[in-house]
């Protein structure tokens, strides 16, 4: 299995002006050069075997910045270019959209043939793009079997197409945003980060990666003052389904795709073979990659049955093994007796005491650390 780290190029003047770029060779502006340096610094600790890049200047110069920390070969190719947008290139995107509303409406349904095959103004369809893009990746990987981790510097719509193909979902990528995908030679296709498919079985529970279809239940149980009152002040309340979707799409999924987070929905196994949504656990690395923090919540109807202690004991071991960390950290209000009791049962140690902002206001808080083990776990 080969890991491919897809990186969108840095900003250009046409990005800021809202112009369609496509195959037009537009250079990075100063902000784009700064962004390229920042993403290079974020990726410098990763052991990279090779870098492949679109031959357009904005992508290649981003690849060069990344390579300053790796000193590996960079292969340029037109096969990794952005989609060709034909006569729309150079024009303001909003004008093209306004002039062709029916065409762009057809691109909202990812299950439709139009999403993949539609073309406008002598452009390239998503299907045509993916054919050339995947053909190059397959050939490159077959010719370079020693390369197990490859940085692929490409473009926004290119990454949008690849993401839609892998996850059957629509997502936009900001300049220099990146995502890890994996080429499976036996299946001859790309798949998401393994954390996207995480699943754990416990005696009473199933833990699995959250789905957008979970958000209605998420909102139902999380929009409860008794659940959120001793959580940090950054938590939205009242909380609705759109808040849950925003968290998944804008925060959790991007971090999972970078290997910097793991999330689990907690489900109770029912006797009839179905599952009942109860809550969520998440583990996320901080921005400096120094600590992995944990957060969790459980719907009020499920309190007092030991479900969270059971879920976290298995999830902690998964994280120890799959994220390769020896300790995790969290904070909680001193007054949050139930949450603190769970931590004490797990063996957490209070490493400091201070004050923090919570929904109830400024409260005394503990910072905790748990040293992890990774045995006795059933992972599907």
Look over the chain and give the mean of its residue pLDDT values, rounded to a whole number: 92
Query: Which of 3, 9, 284, 365 does the annotation list as catalytic?
Result: 9
pLDDT at 141: 95
Q: Which of 134, 145, 180, 164 is nearest to 3 (CA)?
A: 180
3-state secondary structure of 59: helix
Q: Which of 47, 45, 58 is nearest to 7 (CA)?
A: 58
Model-wide pTM > 0.75: no
Query: Which of 79, 82, 177, 365 does the annotation list as catalytic?
Result: 82
- Please, is 222 exposed, middle or buried when counting C-beta atoms within 10 Å of its C-beta (0-12, 13-18, 19+)? buried
pLDDT at 42: 87
3-state secondary structure of 2: strand
Q: State mean pLDDT over 242-251.
A: 92
pLDDT at residue 118 greater than cutoff 50: yes
Q: State mean pLDDT over 316-343.
A: 92
Instruction: Decide if 200 contacts 378 (C-beta within 8 A).
Output: yes
How far is 12 from 82, CA to CA, in rounded Å? 14
pLDDT at 289: 67
The yes-or-no answer on residue 303 being catalytic is no
Residues 13-41 have pLDDT tens digits of 999 999 999 999 999 999 999 999 999 99
3-state secondary structure of 166: helix
Sorted by where each starts, the structural domains of the chain and their CATH numbers stand as 2-191 (3.40.50.1240), 195-371 (3.40.630.30)
Which of 19-28, 195-204, 285-294, 312-321 is the least confident region?
Answer: 285-294
pLDDT at residue 379 greater than cutoff 80: no
pLDDT at residue 286 greater than cutoff 90: no
How far is 14 from 156, CA to CA, in rounded Å? 13
Calculate the CA dihedral of residues 162, 167, 171, 176 and round it to 10 degrees: -50
Q: Which of 141, 10, 147 is nearest to 65 (CA)?
A: 10
- Please, is 241 exposed, middle or buried when counting C-beta atoms within 10 Å of its C-beta (0-12, 13-18, 19+)? middle
The yes-or-no answer on residue 9 being catalytic is yes
pLDDT at residue 52 greater than cutoff 80: yes
How far is 5 from 31, CA to CA, in rounded Å? 22
């Amino acid at each position: 299995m080969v890991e491919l780290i897809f990186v969108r190029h840095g900003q250009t003047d046409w990005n800021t002006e809202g112009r369609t770029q496509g195959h037009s060779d537009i250079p990075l502006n100063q902000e784009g050069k700064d962004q390229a340096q920042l993403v290079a610094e974020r990726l410098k600790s990763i052991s990279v075997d090779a870098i492949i890049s679109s031959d357009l200047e904005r992508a290649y110069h981003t690849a060069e910045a990344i390579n300053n920390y790796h000193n590996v070969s960079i292969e340029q190719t037109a096969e990794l270019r952005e989609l060709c947008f034909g006569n729309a290139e150079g024009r303001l995107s909003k004008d093209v959209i306004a002039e062709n509303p029916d065409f762009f409406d057809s691109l909202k349904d990812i299950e439709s043939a139009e999403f993949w095959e539609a073309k406008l103004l002598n452009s390239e369809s998503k299907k045509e793009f993916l054919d050339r893009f995947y053909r190059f990746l397959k050939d490159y990987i077959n010719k370079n079997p020693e390369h197990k981790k490859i940085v692929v510097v490409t473009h926004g719509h290119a990454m949008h197409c690849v993401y839609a193909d892998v996850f059957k979902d629509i997502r936009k990528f900001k300049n220099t945003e990146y995502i890890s995908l994996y080429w499976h030679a036996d299946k001859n296709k790309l798949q998401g980060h393994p954390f996207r498919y995480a699943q754990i079985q416990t005696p009473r529970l199933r833990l699995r990666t959250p789905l957008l279809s979970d958000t209605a239940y998420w909102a139902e149980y999380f929009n409860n003052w008794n659940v959120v009152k001793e959580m940090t002040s950054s938590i939205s309340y009242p909380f609705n389904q759109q808040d849950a979707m925003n968290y998944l799409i804008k925060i959790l999924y991007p971090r999972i795709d970078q290997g910097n987070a793991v999330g689990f929905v907690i489900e109770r196994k029912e006797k009839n073979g179905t599952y009942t949504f109860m809550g969520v656990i998440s583990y996320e690395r901080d921005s400096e990659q120094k600590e992995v923090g944990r957060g969790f919540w459980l719907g009020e109807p499920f309190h007092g049955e030991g479900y969270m202690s059971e879920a976290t004991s298995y999830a902690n071991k998964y994280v120890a093994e799959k994220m390769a960390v020896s300790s995790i950290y969290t904070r909680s209000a001193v007054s949050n007796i139930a949450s603190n009791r769970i931590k004490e049962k797990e063996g957490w140690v209070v490493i400091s005491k201070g004050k923090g902002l919570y929904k109830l206001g400024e409260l005394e808080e503990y910072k905790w650390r748990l040293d992890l083990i990774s045995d006795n776990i059933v992972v599907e």
